[in-house]
Structure 1
Amino acid sequence: MNTDLHAIAAGWLAAGQAGVVVDVVRTAGSVPREAGTRMLVSATQALGTIGGGH
Structure 2
Amino acid sequence: MITTELIQKYFGTLEEFERFRLNWIRICTNINEAGANARKKEMAEHRAKLLKIV
Tell me if TM exceeds 0.5.
no
Query: Per residue, is there more helix in 1 or in 2?
Result: 2
Instruction: Report the TM-score, using the length of structure 2 for normalisation.
Output: 0.29
Higher strand share: 1
